[in-house]
Structure 1
């Protein structure tokens, strides 16, 4: 080492050594900057940058060598062989080109060191080729120890420089790598010069021209500085461009990592570090991508198996040029969308998007798509999906319908109704627990699927009926609704539509039998439903083709037993099934809406027939609550009276007590309108419903008809006779006429007369007859002028 220092100090011009040192440092820095740029690119672009790197590196090394050689002062005249001098430059450029190519393109971790070793050999070959171009008047000898040492220094330090530049994670690895390369060049030169010894011969003064040699040195230095300066400028420009690109990358909302075909990181942005909470000092361009994944694994706390699986998967995407996009869940709940996009020439770009909020929003949207926004229960769409999954399985389906939900909405408002549905859903969840899944199908209609424990379906259904019958406290209101439940059991052959129809029929049966109860689908319900649907279709045909007719049951004035009126009773003359009584088709007509057309025809036909009878005869027409709720009832009655020129008092509208109990505002308004028109109102089946006495005060009735259940036993049952006596007495005091129904014997008729009943009807007095027979009865014992038209008051 002391010999090397002595060589530098005593045998060299210090100013030229300084110039050589400057050229060497600047050249090494510029060379590595260009090498970094080459490593960050691929294909043709990488090749171009590597050529530029080799030219600049070779020129810088060559200039360093020859400036230092010019500064060498052996004390003898010297000269240079121009051919070998140029050859040494070419050796330097081509040699380092091969080394940098291996370091940049090698797929193994040792490739950088191997490429550096090649660069070190190129430096050595250039140096000793240049030494052979050195002409001096003396005998040259070499110290093999220093010569070997120079080779080792050049190879080892150059290998270390490129290895550090590619794989080191230190924050100042670029400066460290440049320093190692400078030491390789300087160490080789001055250790090699220490090995160089010259024994002088006869000196020819003309052999040497010191001024020319110094000029050559300055020219070489100038050329070197120009080359290195150009490289430095290009490096600065590229650095500026990369800095701008880095700023753009840093401001990206997603993380980005570019990986070369050899598996090294070529580019990354700050967002990657933030997403994975990585230490910036540990992440560097040129590091293996697997090492970056290892750092991510460490910060996320993944176990070895998961880390290996992720590294293997993402490595396969890159090596097999797969375009992939998938979600990855981090330990802190963050959801990253990872995308791998292959690049031309090998390698891939990985992007990392934080989609946590997006996925949460998508979950909420998906939840709303399959759940009811008000109650949180699964909705009809989810119900259809779940039902489709049960094809061929055994399960129980419960349909639940709140019994008085419309009343709650009408009475307390929709806000209370909504809160009631929420409370109902909470009670259903408590009842079902893990046994079944409830669904809100719409309005107050709820279904329940029970798959694994179908044996408990009836028990759960009954518990639901019990629980929902308990009043709800909604704000300041106490609300009572109750529910009806229909249950159907599916076997392996029952399809989805059929099981729903079965449950719906069971629910209809529960409602039909009084609500607030559970009904199970029974064999035959489906066939009965089919019969009702066929009957409904036939009803509309009957309306269109006029297949209805009216029969008239006479009403007799008591006690003289004189015909005073008729009750109009509809009959359906079916072309295939014959005469169908009203009890068989009126409920169907009410449900289908056909009752409105049928009822309008009945009103008009009864009035038409009444116009042919004596003026003291009246007609009683049964109307449905459905008719009274429609806006057409007053118009139909008014038109019939006008068309047939009848006094309104000759028409009596008859409805049941049950219809009055369920009366709403529309029915009450219709009855008031009829009475204002002058039409009489009668209550049928009096005594069999609720609050009969209250109805006598609430409704302005013209007649009450005593139900046949009292009339049939009034002559033998003292209690029934007392009821009839009380009814007739109250009616007399309230100026309401009475009619006894279902008279079948003389004793029953005599009893009604004795109890003060005003009129009577029944099979004993007369069965329902067609219009021709009714006309004969109406005109019997009356003047032939019956049926004369009167002006309507």
Structure 2
């Protein structure tokens, strides 16, 4: 664009010069013709030549004037186009706000003087607007947000759309109080439903704020604002939060943990440990539950509470689970035929319609009988797509796999939901079991659940049995199976093999503590 403009300008200069020369020649020749006419002299050939030259100069002048006019108009058009291109290069076409390029330029200026407040805004669940009302309505919502930002911010602010449903507002001279006022006004404006495409649409926004006096460069400002935005979302959305160094460290640790989990899955660091399942009447072991453990490179054995939440959050729970289940099936294949294997499946995994196929594939590859496998699900699975959950469960049961409802009493399952599931067993959470000898109310709850299982013809297993007193109470309540430290802690596959090689015994296997200590970040209230 600029090269073409220069060429046009050069042509304009040349044309102007030619026109000026023609005018000068016109004046000289015209003067000669007039002078001859006044003097009465007549030289036919000379006068004819001068007349022709005179007329040619008139034509050249007219042509030059027209050409100069055309070139000037073209030059003006190209200048206007260049200005428009520069403006478009710095403007978001949908909202009319500054784009990321212009925002970065303004941010660099503010960082040079270490002054101002930087806000980042993210619409909460904006995808639903596009899904429900279409992208045309979505674009109108984006323009509504842009208007709210412009109206809330002072004249010297830089309001930008940085992409998708993300916006930013740079307040170059704001203090904390005025920045919070801007954030509050934006949130308040968006809280009012708007009539868009015939529908009342309301959106909310989360806003993160960071003080630029504590930022040395653009990367730091963007990172801190993202941390603040995360804090606003974690607090419940539809609000704002300031950058917090402690939260940044927490996020950094979380990201490191997630990366270590990825590496650990690839290198086979996640392994199954096995806790005995005991028949309360005979005190005989009837199987083992596989519990995930992480053999970290430092030699520390981590319990599931240290990593399961991170694995679920990052979508790594699927490959982690299948890795542990695959190892457990291969280990259990060599056990006596009367011993069952129980494995846990995360509620998150029920979002995957191929879950049943994955489990059946592992069974086929390991050669482990489906009738000896028990899949434990928690009440959280009932909060997912219930039709899909039920389809997966039925697919598993069709090949003979048992289904157990784990941690019953701690989630959101209603009796109606439980009744719709084809359950083979209900497991009472340890938080109830450990206090039944101390609390009459808790004992009554456990007794009621045991009675419910009896009436539904569904066996009840108690978790967290740690004393003979608890075991005796559970027997009186009618619980059929139990597990807990009274019968044995979770042990490695090697220890299980050693126990079974001796022919088993009435006493569950034990494994002495070693330098490899089991560690958990908090008291286990949820098993994997």
Normalising to structure 2: TM-score of the pair? 0.75
Q: 1:40 to 1:380 in 2, by over 3 A?
A: closer
Is residue 2:485 matched to residue 1:763? yes
Conserved? CA contact 1:552–1:566, under 8 Å: yes
- Structure 2 residues without counterparts, runs of 5 or longer: 1-17, 507-528
Separation in structure 1 between the aligned mates of residue 316 and residue 210 of structure 2, nearest angstrom: 30
Separation in structure 2 between the aligned mates of residue 574 and residue 625 of structure 1, nearest angstrom: 25
Is residue 2:501 matched to residue 1:780? no
Alignment match, 2:103: 383
**Offset at 1:737?**
4.4
**Offset at 1:579?**
1.8
Q: Deviations over 1:1-22 (max 9, x none)?
A: xxxxxxxxxxxxxxxxxxxxxx
Alignment match, 1:644: 366
Is residue 2:162 matched to residue 1:441? yes
**Offset at 1:620?**
2.5
**Paired residues for 1:573-584 under 5 Å:** 573-576=295-298, 578-584=300-306
Separation in structure 2 between the aligned mates of residue 399 and residue 534 of structure 1, nearest angstrom: 24
Alignment match, 2:172: 451
**Offset at 1:641?**
0.7
**Offset at 1:608?**
1.0
Conserved? CA contact 2:106–2:158, under 8 Å: no
Alignment match, 1:370: 90
Q: 1:718 to 1:438 in 2, by over 3 A?
A: farther
Conserved? CA contact 2:29–2:53, under 8 Å: no
Separation in structure 2 between the aligned mates of residue 683 and residue 472 of structure 1, nearest angstrom: 45
Q: Deviations over 1:26-61 (max 9, x none)?
A: xxxxxxxxxxxxx97539x9579747954x566555
1:524 counterpart SS class: helix
Separation in structure 2 between the aligned mates of residue 655 and residue 527 of structure 1, nearest angstrom: 33
- State the aligned residue count: 485
Compare relative contact order (CA 8 Å, sep 6+) and give the higher one, 1 or 2.
2
Q: 1:546 to 1:732 in 2, by over 3 A?
A: same
Separation in structure 1 between the aligned mates of residue 396 and residue 323 of structure 2, nearest angstrom: 18
**Paired residues for 1:341-740 under 5 Å:** 352-353=72-73, 365-392=85-112, 393-410=114-131, 414-432=135-153, 437-456=158-177, 457-458=179-180, 460-461=182-183, 474-475=196-197, 477=199, 482-512=204-234, 515-516=237-238, 518-576=240-298, 578-630=300-352, 633-663=355-385, 670-671=392-393, 673-690=395-412, 692-693=414-415, 695-696=417-418, 699-740=421-462
Q: 1:680 to 1:484 in 2, by over 3 A?
A: farther
Separation in structure 1 between the aligned mates of residue 127 and residue 109 of structure 2, nearest angstrom: 33
Q: 1:475 to 1:521 in 2, by over 3 A?
A: same
Alignment match, 1:242: 58
2:47 counterpart SS class: helix
Separation in structure 2 between the aligned mates of residue 660 and residue 600 of structure 1, nearest angstrom: 21
- Tell me how large the CA RMSD over aligned residues is: 4.1
**Offset at 1:609?**
1.7
Conserved? CA contact 1:681–1:702, under 8 Å: yes
Separation in structure 2 between the aligned mates of residue 665 and residue 418 of structure 1, nearest angstrom: 34
Q: 1:473 to 1:760 in 2, by over 3 A?
A: farther
Separation in structure 1 between the aligned mates of residue 87 and residue 142 of structure 2, nearest angstrom: 19
Q: Deviations over 1:376-419 (max 9, x none)?
A: 44333333222222224133333333443345545555555444
1:401 counterpart SS class: strand
Conserved? CA contact 1:431–1:464, under 8 Å: yes
**Offset at 1:607?**
0.9
Alignment match, 1:42: 21
Conserved? CA contact 2:344–2:375, under 8 Å: yes
Separation in structure 1 between the aligned mates of residue 416 and residue 102 of structure 2, nearest angstrom: 49
